[in-house]
Structure 1
Amino acid sequence: MGFLTIPGLGKVHYHEYGSGDKPMLAFHGYGMTGKQFHVLKKSILTKYHVYGIDHFFHGESELESTWTEKEILEGMPREMVKAYLEEWFKIYGRQRVSLMAYSIGANLALILLEEYPDLIEEIILMAPDGLSVYKGFEFLMHKPMGKFFFRRATKSKWLAPSLLKNLKRVRFIDDSLYTIAYNEIDTEKKRQDVYYTLNIIRQLKPDTNRIAALINQHHIKCTLIFGRDDKLFPISAAKPFIAKLDDPQVHEVQLGHWLVVQALDEYLLNLPQ
């Protein structure tokens, strides 16, 4: 493990694991850390040496103390995402790398692919955000009423739990996702971290048309994995992007949004070679 020190941003912590020799930068989902992909030990980790990045407000990554709440809510610009890889290159040398991401982590991986297509060997995305506009996040991050509501929910002891219960009742989220989400909002500190996490990545909007063209142009191996019961980022929302790719590897597995589990490792291990 180590840190990428990015001027003007902070210290980005990463975990190292995997027995393979191919370098892969990995970006986890909300409430996890860069260790999230440890579970893929039979499939991914036998081929790759993973550098699992902790998002800010997760794990040991820390923003510079000079960052104000106003700056957090404005979000970090994509130039700072480029700095992740530039700082990694300073340690390990400029070379071709692969990318892996789950859920909101896909936004960072997609931007790195967009900025460094000639250096990306492969990208693996699991239940990815960023391939289409997710109306829930768009409302909370960019619409005045949504931003007001999100801030109120951060401060309230009852509003966020009540919202989750209603989302579960109408089957927008399943039991496992409800349990995970509830455990991330049961204190004011945790609710604030949700608020800051989603806001600091609000500017990170991948250009999916350009990304699809770059994947085709540079023959980047692209694997997309979706949960059949995922209500957050289902395969249906990604189909316009998938249709633009020449040769994507697309999988829909018998899981929900909570996708990075041992069952996925077994699924990937048993795919025809």
Structure 2
Amino acid sequence: MGFLDIPGLGKAHYHEYGSGSKPLLAFHGYGMTGRQFHVLENSILQEYHVYGFDHFFHGESKLSGWTEQQIIEGMPKTMIKAHLEEWFKLHGKQRFSVMGYSIGANIALLLVEEYADLIDEVILMAPDGLSVYKGFHFLTYQPVGRYMFKTVTKSKWLAPALLKNLKKVRFIDDGLYQIAYNEIDTEQKRQDVYYTLNLIRLLKPDTNKVAELINQHHIKCRLIFGKHDNLFPMKAALPFINSVPNAEVHEVNMGHWLVTKQLDEYLVNLQQ
């Protein structure tokens, strides 16, 4: 593991694991850390040496000198490029691959925008960023949504009540409800949700540009979706999928919670 000291941002912490030799920069989902992908030990980790980054407000990554107002305004996209430039200083400029799950897919896609000529493969699981998720957009862009988001995260009872109603109308399933509830059951966790989603709200890739670059540079592309995923289903990503004709696309019999031993077994069976 190690840290990247990123000027104007802070310390980005990363974990290292995997028995493969090829570098893979990986970005986890909400509420996890850069160790999230360690369960893919018989598939992805056989091929790659993973550098799994902790998002800010997760794990050991720490913002430095940022005010609440700066956090709410969001991290500029240029800060993602700064991550990789600092990584190059430590490990040398070289070819690499990227992997992202859920909100982490946004960062992987932004790296494709900047470094397509150096990227061998893109692996995305239940990816945010391939289409606009109206719920996050409402909470982080629309004035009414931003006000509601702030109010809910500062209340002890509003957030749990909202989740229960979302489950009741089947906007989220039981699995997502449990995951989300575990992330809002304390004041600190609710604040971290609020800060995280606002910090990353500007980190939205240009999917047309990404598709063009993947095709132009013949980047291997693996896209994995959960058949029962209500957050980022495959149907929402079809415009992107159709624009990358050589993409390897999988829809597995799972929900949003994809990075598990079950997925590892699925990926191993594909190779047999």
TM-score normalised per structure 2? 0.99
Secondary structure of 2:44 counterpart:
coil
Query: Which residue does 2:41 correspond to in 1?
Result: 41
Partner letter of residue 25 of structure 1? L
CA distance, structure 2, for counterparts of residue 223 and residue 14 of structure 1 = 23
Partner letter of residue 261 of structure 1? T
User: Does residue 143 of structure 1 match 2:142?
Assistant: yes
Cα RMSD, aligned residues only: 0.7
Question: 1:157 offset after TM fit, Å?
Answer: 0.7
* Deviations 1:69-105, CA, capped at 9 Å, x for gaps: 0000011111100011111100110000000010000
* Deviations 1:11-55, CA, capped at 9 Å, x for gaps: 000000000000000000000000000000000000000000000
Query: Which residue does 1:59 correspond to in 2?
Result: 59
Percentage of identical aligned residues: 73
Query: Which residue does 2:258 correspond to in 1?
Result: 259
Secondary structure of 1:13 counterpart:
strand
Query: Which residue does 2:196 correspond to in 1?
Result: 197
User: Does residue 73 of structure 1 match 2:50?
Assistant: no
Partner letter of residue 234 of structure 1? P
The 5 A counterparts of 1:200-219 are 200-219=199-218
Secondary structure of 1:219 counterpart:
coil
CA distance, structure 1, for counterparts of residue 156 and residue 98 of structure 2 = 38
Secondary structure of 2:34 counterpart:
coil
User: Does residue 22 of structure 1 match 2:7?
Assistant: no
CA distance, structure 2, for counterparts of residue 166 and residue 143 of structure 1 = 21
CA distance, structure 2, for counterparts of residue 171 and residue 36 of structure 1 = 27
Partner letter of residue 13 of structure 1? H
Secondary structure of 2:46 counterpart:
coil
Partner letter of residue 200 of structure 1? L
* Deviations 1:155-183, CA, capped at 9 Å, x for gaps: 10111111111111122211121111101
CA distance, structure 2, for counterparts of residue 102 and residue 233 of structure 1 = 11
CA distance, structure 2, for counterparts of residue 167 and residue 38 of structure 1 = 31
Secondary structure of 2:113 counterpart:
helix
Would you identify which runs of 4 or more consecutive aligned residues in structure 1 move more than 3 Å? none
* Deviations 1:121-144, CA, capped at 9 Å, x for gaps: 101000000001100011000000
Q: What 5-or-longer segments of structure 2 have no aligned partner?
A: none
User: Does residue 7 of structure 1 match 2:11?
Assistant: no
Query: Which residue does 2:105 correspond to in 1?
Result: 106
CA distance, structure 2, for counterparts of residue 206 and residue 32 of structure 1 = 22
CA distance, structure 1, for counterparts of residue 235 and residue 169 of structure 2 = 19
Query: Which residue does 1:93 correspond to in 2?
Result: 92
Question: 1:246 offset after TM fit, Å?
Answer: 2.5
Secondary structure of 1:226 counterpart:
strand
Partner letter of residue 134 of structure 1? Y
Query: Which residue does 1:247 correspond to in 2?
Result: 246
The 5 A counterparts of 1:110-129 are 110-129=109-128
Give the number of equivalent residue pairs.
272
CA distance, structure 2, for counterparts of residue 120 and residue 228 of structure 1 = 28
CA distance, structure 1, for counterparts of residue 68 and residue 85 of structure 2 = 26
Question: 1:272 offset after TM fit, Å?
Answer: 4.0
CA distance, structure 2, for counterparts of residue 36 and residue 269 of structure 1 = 18
Partner letter of residue 106 of structure 1? A
Partner letter of residue 40 of structure 2? L
Secondary structure of 2:105 counterpart:
helix
Secondary structure of 1:181 counterpart:
helix
